[in-house]
Chain A
Amino acid sequence: MKVLGIDTSGYANAIGVADGDRVLADRVYAARSDSLKQIVANIDSVLREAGLSLEEIQGIGVGLGPGSWTGIRVGVTVGKMLAFSTGKQVCGVPTLEALAFSARDAGSPVCAVIDAGAGGIIYAGRYNVAQGKIARMGDYYVGDIQGLAASLSQRTVLVGARASEYKREMSASQAKDEVPRGADVALLAAQRLERNESDDALALAPLYLKEWTAKALSVQG
């Protein structure tokens, strides 16, 4: 099954194409001030690189976040409207899950960490990854890095854009500096689609993990 995967949770355009468990293309267009304007044009470029047209894709995977609130809204809207206008199936993939999946060969457990962009707050999710399958353990974490450190085992593999930096503050065994990849979103979406699971395109919603509050006005991501 050929699946397009996209994630704009960090403003960067992470776009990949997978066919079953095989990656056909995988690009990360670095975050720039105009990144969110480029996403659809970049999707076209990556599909061409994979030798496919949008019509030849069977499903769409969308990174839901957490991350930049504006970024995930754009990614989710693009995934939602591409699915709606082509009638293709769509799967929302939590960005932390896609990030953790990128460390699938590093051993388990994996903790994916995304910077919330304000006040030293991070988003994190702990996962078991084995034989190409991934499962989250417990709830998502939103808080400071010290709070996360207290709850992680020494065997944990830390993955995220600033994993090495965060590893210094905790006892994790390894750090893997990595950003979310479109191909990982596509691979995880393909797994779900092959199990005949999909999401309602129109209802697809960002995973903010942080409610908006009046106080958050000054620190929004």
Chain B
Amino acid sequence: MATFLQLLFTGLGIGAIYALVALGFVLLIRAANVVNFAQGQFAMLGAYFLVIGINVLELPYPVAIVMSVVLMAAFGVIFAGATYWPLRHRGGLPVIISTIGASIFLENTVLVLYGPSPEVLPNLFDSPGIQVGPVFMDSQYLAILVSAVLLVGLQYLIFEKTLLGKKLQATSQDKEMASLLGIPVAGMILFTFAYSSMLGGIAGMLVAPVLFVSVGMGGLIALKAFAANIIGGYGSIPGAILGGLSLGVAETMGASYISVPYKDAFAFAMLLMFLMVRPQGLFGEKISEKA
């Protein structure tokens, strides 16, 4: 039982990482109909901004986080201008290819500018964690779980309960109609990219003390986050969270109780199973209908 509980906690922690990155995917899908394959690199960039803030500029942790979040928001606007805006009238595929190109460009730019040395960041809290009965709760995983809950709540409120969210959704569904209704479409899209970039950056900052900061760190989690997005339901906010958490728990349990070397296979077997049995995911509409 102790082993099961420990695995459950760790699986939820890892799942929350996937969920946070998946949230960024969902935001752009819902508001701009864009599948952003550079979402993992947003996480990498956020972590590097934090490294610069703490290790180079020697700022206090909270100040470095605020600086990094602001920089990520600004970067999101630049990213939109470079990858989305010139291709916005050419359908989804050119934009997807553009984001894949941007992901490669971002990794190599950071490699050239910062160098290949991986970096270490301290945990958000001084304590490495707390022992609750037989379960050791890593303080960073706790921070990730709490942040995921707060961010998903915030995102739900923005999209479902505010005028801004309605405008964002209207922009996603029909840009011409939104424009005729007086919604500033360009501004809505730029805001969405800025917010998505911020989310990705925050995910990177949170996982940095666990996975270390390296140029390839985003790629490690983005693929699973995308799978979580499909499992939860394409474009669904609660789906992204549940998909991420269930993916994290499934692969951790599968690794422990069946086979460690096939850990990644469990995650993608789960994805395949959903695509075959319930392609609309846990909360989403059918992908075929979306297309």
User: Do chains A and B stick together as partners?
Assistant: no
Chain A contact residues, CB within 8 Å of chain B: none
Chain B contact residues, CB within 8 Å of chain A: none
